[in-house]
Copies of this chain bind each other. A is one copy, B any other.
Amino acid sequence: MIKPVTIKDLARQLNISISTVSRALRNANDINPDTKETVLKLARELEYEPNFIAQSLVKKQTRIIGVVVPLINSNYFSEALSGMTDLAIEQNYHLMICQSNERVDLENKSIRKLVACNINGLLISVSKDTKSPEVIREAQNKNIPVVMFDRIIPEVSCTKVIVDEYEGAYKAVEHLIRKGCKKIAHIGGPRDLSVSKKRKQGYLDALRDYKIEDDPKLIIHCKSFEEDASNAIRKVLAESPDAIFCINDLTAIMAIQYARKKGFSIPGDIRIVGFNNDPVSGVVQPALTTVMQPGYEVGKLAMGVLIDEIEKKTAKHKLFTLRTRLVTRLSSR
């Protein structure tokens, strides 16, 4: 094991003080150019590398940004992480990424660990069950800028970056209306999730704006995203709608398959629209019309505003809302 070269080694060999070496290394202005040159030369020869940890300790600045997401392995979050990572490396920041696996306890543990690592900023998208802002506030109280994205909670006052789900849903339903649909059903998500509420509101408002009365029988909530969908689809089909706006692509695809099995043609008898623009939506038959959320951009923007807050020490606590894009495919033509 070779011991790394330190400023002490340089100082000793040159017979000068470590303060001077330090100044030469970080290109201070109050130093004799010749001295500086000598130091730099030796540093190069010995392949001196400053110890990042020691620097962090004294400067109380690590350039590490902590990221907590519910899960890494999701198309949306991995896109967001991708955007964050690209910007971070460009700006010379380092990322520590944790996943909560949708568990509040692991989420809190991760945040605390990150804080203990002296992160300079925190980027977080909370788990489904996170209600309490306590641990995030702990971080803020330690003067760590926090930016929330996607899964935000109102209790935390900080800059937030989200996607305009409401508008996305509105556009999707408007599109169906313009195609001539009059009886548009909605398969929603868990009732109290903010995502579900916003998408449903977009649906309701689009109907209202086009003078279509909403019918409670056409609206079914799933208790979870995975389990209930087929049940919901069965119920909704019994009401013979001419279109279904689904909470996400997976649900929409299940709806398509169920409807086809029952002899309906898509989009002939029923038009179907999903949400997310999952890679899968482009390859199913028929290809699924869906609402694209700009995950990469969300990540990049969130990272950008966080870095701003870290460097300018400004905390405006703004809300950034990115727009969605309707991706029209065969399932609604």
Contacts and interface: CB of A to CB of B under 8 A. Distances in A.
A117 B94 contact: yes
A82 B72 contact: yes
A89 B97 contact: no
B82 A49 contact: no
Interface stretch (A20-28, A73-81, A188-196, A320-328): A73-81
A160 B113 CA distance: 29
B73 A82 contact: yes
Contacts of A57: 51, 53-54, 57
A223 to B, nearest CB: 21
A52 B116 contact: yes
Interface size class of A (residues with CB under 8 A): 35 or more
Nearest to A253: B283
Interface stretch (A138-146, A202-210, A234-242): A138-146
Copies in the complex: 2
A226 interface: no
A315 B89 CA distance: 30
Interface in A54-91: 54, 56-57, 62, 64, 71-75, 78-79, 81-82, 85-86, 89
Contact of A106 (B51, B89, B115): B89
Nearest to A67: B97
Q: Which 4 A-B pairs have the closest CB atoms?
A: A280-B280, A78-B78, A49-B116, A73-B82
Interface of A: 1-2, 4, 47, 49-54, 56-57, 62, 64, 71-75, 78-79, 81-82, 85-86, 89, 94-99, 101, 106, 109-110, 112-113, 115-118, 138, 141-143, 250, 253-254, 257, 278-280, 283-285, 296
